[in-house]
Amino acid sequence: MGWYNGGRMPGYTSRMRVVTTVPASGGAPSQLETSLRPELADAGRLARRALRKVVTAARADDRRTVDKALREHLGPAVNGPVVNGSWPSYEHVNVQIALDAWLEDPSRSHELVGLTGFQHRMFGLADLIVPEVHPGMLPGIGNVAMANLPAGPDGQTYSCVQCALYLIVESEQPLALLVRGSDDRGGNENVLVEALTADAETGARVLAELRAMALERNVYRGQVVSFGGQMFGQPGALMTFHSRPTISRDALVLPGGVLEQVEAQVLGVAEHRERLRASGQHLKRGLLLHGPPGTGKTHTARYLMGRLTGVTIVILSGEALHAITLACSVARALTPSLVIIEDVDLIGDDRGMHPGAHPLLFQLLNEMDGLGEDLDIAFLLTTNRADLLERALVQRPGRVDQAVEIPLPEAAERKRLVELYCGRLELDEAGIADVVERSHGVTASFLKELLRRAALLAAQEESSTEGPLRVSGEQLTRALDLLLDDRSRLTRALLGSPGEQPA
């Protein structure tokens, strides 16, 4: 669209036409008009054309319009009340699934009527029943606009109505629903369903049934979803599915007791949910993982996600942190659930008119407060900067019941990490002890990178391309030297080695 003209000369259009006009009475016809005046031979054609016009006009009268369709279908109920329901835009797929299931009931039959010209315009069902005012401004009847929306982590989609009328007969009573998806440019952020029924009770009942079915069949239940992550468009408006990570317990190297603590709080409570609830214990819980970057906070969160099959996981990070309220409402609706808020310190400062005020953090704590104690909801917060959060958390005790430090790995953990990230490399045992000794103060992610560097050296220096890569003790030591070298200062800072924080 726009200014594309198919490569032709600017200004030229292939559909340029000469229009004949009837000369104003009295004036002598101009030369142009004379030359274009229809010949006698054209008279028949003109007559036929005139007749066609009359027929078209007559047909236009009984052409189906939205207004007529509604009046015809509803009869006297056309004067009934309109009841509204709205859902956040990411619920569109659930609303459609609910609607389709609801319509399948044998007590109901329906006709789906597509609307045209609905984009970027706000109108309601009531507006469609007053056609005489500005008929040109109202949508017409046309094809049903559909969109395939994500419905699962493996690329599943569900076909959803963008804008249409459902003319429904339910137990011989007519009713109409107007369904609209969100339309940011039209100033409508929500999915809207309007019901026109003979009485308000019916409308309210229909919407309540749809709401219950949308919740019951919610595609996000038991899935891993995140808010935001959209580069363009409405940040945070969208929910994205993720496949559930599977990280084995051995792939997570933490000092003794740390993982057990985390597991008891997050998994243990979930496992003994019923017994705890029965004995009046609260299930809602908050856990803060803190420690230097690259020590495995995110890794631990991913491990827990894998263990919590069937639990709804809602991830919030970066730009989506303002969607805390939405995320909490999803978590509440789809329990048991785990809300993961990564780098929670970032939500503190971004609106930092008052340093340390953490308006979003307080909002989060409020949301956590607002959730029922007996709901099985766990909050897992991670941060590299527990010091920044301390005041806010101390002022609001009881939201985060436990703070667990994920420290830099000691020698024993460093050894396990080297063995873990060695993968299928053949590693000379002699090199390992040296590396473990000399890598005091580095993080897990540093050691992971170290093994890759060593493998790369081996690949570059090995003559055979057959079999597993063999890394000598010398290559491992050399890779460590390279990483520890001054020239790698930035890399070290990025991978999280102490005293090397980027400015």
Ligand X SMILES: Nc1ncnc2c1ncn2[C@@H]1O[C@H](COP(=O)(O)OP(=O)(O)O)[C@@H](O)[C@H]1O
* Residue 254 partner contact from Mg ion, ligand X, none using kind-dependent CB cut-offs of 5 to 8 Å: ligand X
Contact between 452 and ligand X (CB under 6 A)? no
Give residues 401-420 in contact with ligand X (rule: CB under 6 A). Answer: 417
Q: How many CB atoms lie within 10 A of CB 26?
A: 5
Give least dist CB 375 to Mg ion, A: 26
Contact between 494 and Mg ion (CB under 5 A)? no
Give the residue, chosen from 254, 323, 344, 471, that forms a contact with ligand X under the rule CB under 6 A.
254
Maximum Cα–Cα distance for the chain, whole Å? 112
Give the residue, chosen from 160, 206, 207, 253, that forms a contact with ligand X under the rule CB under 6 A.
253
CB contact at 8 A, 496 and 292 = yes
Binding part of the chain for ligand X, among 103-111, 143-151, 297-305, 325-333 by CB under 6 A, reads 297-305
* Residue 290 partner contact from ligand X, Mg ion, none using kind-dependent CB cut-offs of 5 to 8 Å: none
When the beta carbons of 162 and 317 are compared against Mg ion, the nearer one is 317
CB contact at 8 A, 181 and 92 = yes
Give residues 282-311 in contact with Mg ion (rule: CB under 5 A). Answer: 297-298
Give the residue, chosen from 284, 290, 299, 322, that forms a contact with ligand X under the rule CB under 6 A.
299
Name the residue with tokens 């699934």. Answer: 97
How far is C-alpha 363 from the geometric centre of its chain's CA atoms? 21
Separation CA 75–CA 402 (nearest Å): 63
Give least dist CB 253 to ligand X, A: 4
* Residue 444 partner contact from Mg ion, ligand X, none using kind-dependent CB cut-offs of 5 to 8 Å: ligand X
Give least dist CB 315 to Mg ion, A: 12
Query: Cβ neighbours of residue 271 under 8 Å, at least 6 residues apart?
Result: none
CB contact at 8 A, 395 and 357 = no
* Residue 226 partner contact from ligand X, Mg ion, none using kind-dependent CB cut-offs of 5 to 8 Å: none
Give the residue, chosen from 96, 182, 383, 445, that forms a contact with ligand X under the rule CB under 6 A.
445
Residue closest to Mg ion when measured from CB atoms: 298
Residue closest to ligand X when measured from CB atoms: 296
Total binding residues toward ligand X, as defined by CB under 6 A: 14
* Residue 96 partner contact from ligand X, Mg ion, none using kind-dependent CB cut-offs of 5 to 8 Å: none
User: What are 438's two structure tokens?
Assistant: 């000399």
When the beta carbons of 139 and 296 are compared against ligand X, the nearer one is 296
Helix ranges (DSSP H) in 319-443: 324-333, 346-349, 359-370, 386-395, 411-421, 429-438
Give the residue, chosen from 110, 297, 358, 415, that forms a contact with ligand X under the rule CB under 6 A.
297
Give the residue, chosen from 444, 457, 458, 476, that forms a contact with ligand X under the rule CB under 6 A.
444
User: What is the phi/psi pair of residue 225, to 5°?
Assistant: -130, 155
Contact between 181 and ligand X (CB under 6 A)? no
Binding part of the chain for ligand X, among 68-76, 96-104, 251-259, 316-324 by CB under 6 A, reads 251-259
When the beta carbons of 167 and 289 are compared against Mg ion, the nearer one is 289
Give least dist CB 346 to ligand X, A: 13
When the beta carbons of 192 and 341 are compared against Mg ion, the nearer one is 341
When the beta carbons of 180 and 297 are compared against Mg ion, the nearer one is 297
Q: Provide the residue type at 241 as one letter.
A: F
Contact between 344 and ligand X (CB under 6 A)? no
Contact between 139 and ligand X (CB under 6 A)? no
Contact between 454 and ligand X (CB under 6 A)? no
When the beta carbons of 297 and 492 are compared against ligand X, the nearer one is 297
When the beta carbons of 177 and 339 are compared against ligand X, the nearer one is 339
Q: Roughly how many angstroms between the first and final C-alpha of the chain, as a whole number?
A: 48
Q: What is the Rg, in whole angstroms, of the alpha carbon atoms belonging to the chain? A: 33
Give least dist CB 315 to ligand X, A: 13
Separation CA 453–CA 473 (nearest Å): 13
Give the pairing type, strands 173-180 and 377-383: unpaired
Q: How wide is the angle at C-alpha 214 spanned by C-alphas 213 and 219, nearest 5°?
A: 125
CB contact at 8 A, 195 and 206 = yes
Give least dist CB 382 to Mg ion, A: 6
Query: Could you tell me the sign of the dihedral formed by the alpha carbons of 424, 426, 427, 430, in that order?
Result: positive
Separation CA 395–CA 366 (nearest Å): 12
CB contact at 8 A, 363 and 322 = no
User: What are 238's two structure tokens?
Assistant: 């969208």
Give the residue, chosen from 114, 294, 336, 348, that forms a contact with ligand X under the rule CB under 6 A.
294
- Length of the chain equals 503
Give least dist CB 148 to ligand X, A: 33
H or E element that contains 177? strand 173-180
User: What are 442's two structure tokens?
Assistant: 């580095």
Query: Could you tell me the sign of the dihedral formed by the alpha carbons of 220, 344, 286, 397, in that order?
Result: negative
Q: What is residue 231's three-state secondary structure?
A: coil
* Residue 296 partner contact from ligand X, Mg ion, none using kind-dependent CB cut-offs of 5 to 8 Å: ligand X
Kindly write out the interface string for residues 246-285 of this chain, putting x where it contacts Mg ion by CB under 5 A and - elsewhere.
Answer: ----------------------------------------
User: What are 487's two structure tokens?
Assistant: 């020239």
Q: Which residues contribute to the site for Mg ion (CB under 5 A)? A: 297-298
Q: Which residues contribute to the site for ligand X (CB under 6 A)? A: 252-254, 293-299, 417, 444-445, 448
